[in-house]
Amino acid sequence: MRNRQNQKNWTNLRGLLSVEEREKLENLRLELVCMQAANSIPHDPPEISSLETELICLTTNTKDCKPVRFHSDLLLKKHKYNEIKKIFKEILENIEAYRDEFTKNQTKINLLLADDARASLRNRSLDFSDLMPSSIIKDVQVLANMEANVVVMKNALKTKLVGEKSVPVASSPISSIIPRTSRNKKTSPSNYHHSVLSHRKSNEWNQVSSTEYKRTLLLNIKYNDDFKATIVPSFESCLCSRSYFLRVKLHFDKGVGSAEIDIPVQVKNSFI
Amino acid sequence: MQESKEPQNKFEGCQRISSSSSTLFGGTSFEEPRCGTSQGKEEDAFACNNGDHCSSITNVQEDDFVLPELLPSFEMYENLLSNIPQSSFDTYFPENPPFYEVASRNQSIPSEGESGNDMRILTGDIVGPDNHEVTVDGRRFASGPAESQIRNYDDTKGIPVENIYALPRIKTPIATELYVTKTAPKFGQLPKHESMLREYTSGDIIHGYFTVENKSTKPIKFDMFYLTLEGTTSSKTQSPFGIQKTTERILRMVDMAASWSYNHEDVNTGEDLCGFFDSIDKTSFGLPNSRILNPGDKRKKFFTFKIPNQLLDVTCKHGHFSHSLLPPTLGFDRPSSSHPELSTLKFSESLGYGRLSERGSSLWLNDSSSGSLINYSINAMIVGKDVASGRVCLMSEKKYSIRIVPFGFQNNPISREKCLKDLEDFDIEIANRLGMIEKVFSKIERAIPIHKEDIQEANRSDQLSPLRGKYEWNAVAGNTENGTLKKKH
């Protein structure tokens, strides 16, 4: 229940969004490429036995504002994120070692100051903060001690593989399904681009060369109404931030294995 | 320089401002929400002279009333909002607000219940160059009281409003209650209270009212009453000294109509409603100018807040635009074990939330907060003197938590290439500075004089060569990390 004032406010807010920002993510198009091994006899590519979709929730915490905005992929992959922290921990150790040595030789340094250096300091003694300001040291500390927490929400989404006949080729199906009012959330792809191969048939492997096959999957995605957790919209602030990914897992039959892809999405409060 | 762990405040709900967030307040403690779009200023303001009057009180507060956007006068902002007023001001300033007319020394300004000497001194203070002469004139009328008043004014020091969170708290018989309603409350009507599950978004208007009651048998004097909408963010990170919690206050909006001031007029009508009796809840409207709460006299006032679209630019010290957007409510600040109603806190799996039975408590949600905490609340704070110690303290404090889920404004994430480039640039800047320090060290060993260019950044291009490719994570086999900074031994 919203009064007229809030309804008018919501209409104004919706008007601020661009046309593409108003779109809701309902269908996801995946393109698979299968390369046949050169040392194998020709055979058909494997079929998909099952498909899973998970919502990955990434929360970062820092003790101050980060000097650099981070790409979500750098924080999701643990080895990349640990590598960045390791680099800045080493820098921090270097700075502390230099500061100790500077403190030890501070009297000697100030005796060696020439006249032009002394004038630039306005006859003040040279401090370590003149060469390495404390704000930069604090920025290094922030990057060395930031934390990223990854939570996998397995049951947050419902995914259905759209069949061939229900979706015409080269069209962009837009579903009229409106999510529940209490959700007020929208997922939209931010870095995902794809092209429609109009001459290909959907949901089947198409041979494009003697050893290469391609396949296009169309996934219909919506929120699971039975999911009880609260999905907070994506945001960035000085001390913490929240990002989301759509993880699609494909399992193949014949013991081939599985494939996995993480697609960054944004959760927004754009729909009533 | 390791930032020390913040001391654990013994008062529940008290949010300390860490030293790293000192740039947030800068020179002003009054946070004005700002719109980057066509919307104008959004602010609850004080209506000094509202021209349009309505014939009936009940007709005024309709559902679609327009929120007034007025600014305080400089005197009001300086005396009441930028600094915490103290009752010792009254011995110099009269009870009435300052006059804006500049009167000559010979003109006598009539003031009900006040002596003429105070008026002359006050007008003299406004006219800066003549201040000294007026003081001499003041001595002719009543030299003793005039001098003591002037000296008392000089001794009075303002307490910045940022220090209100560090004031000691005392127990007083003042009972303060906060209510949030669906629509603007009206006299003579039962208010419809807002649901605790309400989620506000950008631009929404929060309506409500508060009541203040002195439960004792003696009058209680207070100095100031503040009603604010505040937002804080907290994060927990691991440090060599244990878990470190950092808290930053990102939003502070003051409802100047609901806070105490010298005015009598209601902000919506401009009418003098002070003392108007509401028979529904047996309250009187407004807080008296004398700043005295009489026993049995229950006072009430209405408040209105508009959720801003974004925060001030000074919120982020690095100037990231995405950091000046409102973050949503996140996490749950678990009450301390000494909370009297802690036993009522239960998380319901079927409903998906939990909360205390106390009105205005925050919701406990399963939102994977992972050490992040973002809170928004409406706060009522009464400041006054402690009778025992004579110090300024917090006499009463009440908080009403609200949930904000801001609108999804367009906020493009940073690209991977830009992120890596920014990291490289930051790394290069530090490497250049470390190279400068190394150069100074080498000059010490050889006893060579240190010149101006050795300690300034002008010749940074002559320093280390750029360490390109350090932050690329290509999956190329055999890619080795080169250019690691040499560690000084």
DSSP B14-54: --PPPGGGHHHHTT---PPP--SSS---------SS-----
User: Do the Cβ atoms of A10 and B201 come within 8 Å?
Assistant: yes
Candidates A5, A70, A97; nearest CB to B488? A97
Question: CA B262 to CA B251: how far, in whole Å?
Answer: 25
Q: Looking at the complex, does the CB of residue A212 fall below 8 Å from at least one CB of chain B?
A: no
Closest CA in chain B for residue A117: B452
User: Do the Cβ atoms of B488 and A101 come within 8 Å?
Assistant: yes
Residue B267 clears pLDDT 70, i.e. is over it: no
pLDDT at residue number B444: 87
Instruction: Give the pLDDT band (50/70/90) at residue B76.
Output: confident
Q: Are residues A45 and A129 in the same domain?
A: no
Helices B416-446 and A78-104 sit at what angle, rounded to 10 degrees? 20
Question: CA A194 to CA A213: how far, in whole Å?
Answer: 17
Nearest to B234 by CA among A72, A61, A65: A61
User: Do the Cβ atoms of B485 and A91 come within 8 Å?
Assistant: yes
User: Do the Cβ atoms of A231 and B63 come within 8 Å?
Assistant: no
Domain count, chain B: 2
Q: Are residues A112 and A134 in the same domain?
A: yes
In a domain, A204, yes or no: yes
Q: Looking at the complex, does the CB of residue A145 fall below 8 Å from at least one CB of chain B?
A: yes
Helices A134-144 and B416-446 sit at what angle, rounded to 10 degrees? 130
State residue B377 phi and psi, 5-degree precision.
-155, 155
Q: Looking at the complex, does the CB of residue A49 fall below 8 Å from at least one CB of chain B?
A: no
Query: Which H/E stretch holds residue B133?
Result: helix B131-155
Lowest mean pLDDT among B207-221, B229-243, B446-460: B446-460
Question: CA B411 to CA B321: how far, in whole Å?
Answer: 9
pLDDT at residue number B80: 75
State residue B352 phi and psi, 5-degree precision.
90, 10
pLDDT at residue number B475: 35
Q: Looking at the complex, does the CB of residue B432 fall below 8 Å from at least one CB of chain A?
A: no
Domain boundary among A98, A129, A145: A145
Q: Are residues A87 and A30 in the same domain?
A: no
- Within B222-325, strands assigned E span 224-239, 242-254, 277-278, 283-285, 292-293, 299-306
Domain boundary among A103, A127, A145: A145
Q: Are residues A52 and A88 in the same domain?
A: no
Q: How many CB atoms lie within 10 A of CB B259?
A: 21
In a domain, B150, yes or no: no
Integer CA distances (angstroms), A50 to A53, A140, A251, B18, B182, in order:
10, 45, 5, 51, 48
In a domain, B141, yes or no: no
- B133-189 pLDDT, tens digit per residue, is 222 222 232 233 333 333 334 334 567 788 888 888 888 899 999 999 998 888 888
Segments of chain A scoring below 70 in pLDDT: 1-2, 163-203, 272
Nearest to B126 by CA among B105, B111, B142: B105
In a domain, B25, yes or no: no
Q: Give residues 72 to 111 of A whose Cβ lies within 8 Å of B.
A: 72-74, 80, 83-84, 87, 90-91, 93-95, 97-98, 101-102, 105, 108-109
Q: Are residues B418 and B321 in the same domain?
A: no
Question: CA B182 to CA B175: how far, in whole Å?
Answer: 23
User: Do the Cβ atoms of A61 and B430 come within 8 Å?
Assistant: no
Q: Looking at the complex, does the CB of residue B323 fall below 8 Å from at least one CB of chain A?
A: yes
Q: Are residues A104 and A154 in the same domain?
A: no
Q: Looking at the complex, does the CB of residue A50 fall below 8 Å from at least one CB of chain B?
A: no
Residue range B15-38: average pLDDT? 29
pLDDT at residue number A175: 28
Tell me the average pLDDT of chain B.
Answer: 69
Lowest mean pLDDT among B42-56, B174-188, B298-312, B406-420: B42-56
pLDDT at residue number B150: 35
Which structural domain range is residue A106 located in? Answer: 81-145
pLDDT at residue number A4: 78
Share of chain B above pLDDT 90, in %: 20
Q: Are residues A155 and A230 in the same domain?
A: yes
Residue B208 clears pLDDT 70, i.e. is over it: yes
pLDDT at residue number A256: 82
- B419-478 pLDDT, tens digit per residue, is 999 999 999 999 999 998 998 888 888 888 888 888 876 444 444 444 555 666 543 333
Q: Are residues A122 and A152 in the same domain?
A: no
pLDDT at residue number B53: 28
- What's the DSSP call for residue B82? I
Closest Cα of chain A to B433: distance in Å? Answer: 6
Residue range B224-249: average pLDDT? 89
CATH of the domain at B379: 2.60.40.640
Which structural domain range is residue B442 located in? Answer: 414-457
Q: Are residues B443 and B296 in the same domain?
A: no
Q: How many CB atoms lie within 10 A of CB B120?
A: 22
User: Do the Cβ atoms of B408 and A6 come within 8 Å?
Assistant: no
Question: CA A167 to CA B137: how far, in whole Å?
Answer: 93
Closest Cα of chain A to B47: distance in Å? Answer: 22
Residue B255 clears pLDDT 90, i.e. is over it: no
Question: CA B309 to CA B204: how far, in whole Å?
Answer: 10
Candidates B20, B323, B454; nearest CB to A237? B323
Domain boundary among A116, A145, A174: A145
Mutation to test the B interface, candidates A58, A61, A85, A153, most B Cβ within 10 Å: A61
